[in-house]
Amino acid sequence: MARVKPKRHGVITDMTAMCDVAFLLLTFFILTTQFKKPDVEQIKPPSSISEKLLPDASLMTINATPDGKFYFQPVDNARERSELLDKMGEKYGIAFDNNQKVAFQRVQAIGVPMNQLKSYLALPEDEQKNFKSPTGIPMDSVNRQLVDWVQQSLSVNPDYKLAIKGDVTTEYPKVKSLFEGLRDIKFLNFWLITSQEGKPNE
């Protein structure tokens, strides 16, 4: 008598759990990714072969344009930005209301003197993004507002770090005045942002 072969059943794999994990990971990366904010003005930094990466958190940035204007980008923390604005207002005798503080928490970068900051914060958000400052933040031997932004930021959080991004055509005397101002407040550790170039052949 022939042996009865058992009926084969197809293997069913439940992928529900795998899909759940995949979507959880995707959601996590979408919510935690910080996209780089575009520069207010076009800046082409000098090239180097350095492979060091900038820290992601607690980073202030100073941009120096080809014509020597300075922009300051505060750390992206709403509460600490509000505290920074209060300290700068106290230093320069300017009072900011709640609407101006909310606007300051959203700005991409500051590129105006303190006496023009209120009118800049009153601009609609899309106009702020396209605003090209005619002067930038003052930084010379007489008026050192740019260094004051750095110094007051450090008084809010001493763990802040600083990166400086200058255009390859920015004249050195402009940048030198910034370096001297940072030296005067004894802040000597900062990064210089460069573009990556290939390593020379060994």
Better pLDDT: 83 or 201: 83
Give residue limits of the domains in the chain.
Answer: 47-196
Strands 59-64 and 70-73: antiparallel
pTM of the model: 0.74
Q: pLDDT per residue over 128-172, tens digit each?
A: 878 888 889 999 888 999 999 999 999 999 999 999 888 888 888
Whether residue 47 contacts residue 195, with contact meaning beta carbons closer than 8 Å, is answered with yes
| Mean pLDDT score, 48-53 | 68
Whether residue 168 contacts residue 46, with contact meaning beta carbons closer than 8 Å, is answered with yes
Give Cα separations from 71 to 61, 121, 149, 166, 179 (angstroms).
8, 15, 10, 10, 15
For 124, how many CA atoms within 13 A lie in the half-sphere containing its CB? 2
| Mean pLDDT score, 171-200 | 82
Give the rounded distance of the alpha carbon of 49 from its chain centre. 22
| Mean pLDDT score, 77-103 | 93
Position 58 pLDDT exceeds 80: yes
Q: pLDDT per residue over 67-78, tens digit each?
A: 889 999 999 899
194 token code pair:
């460069």
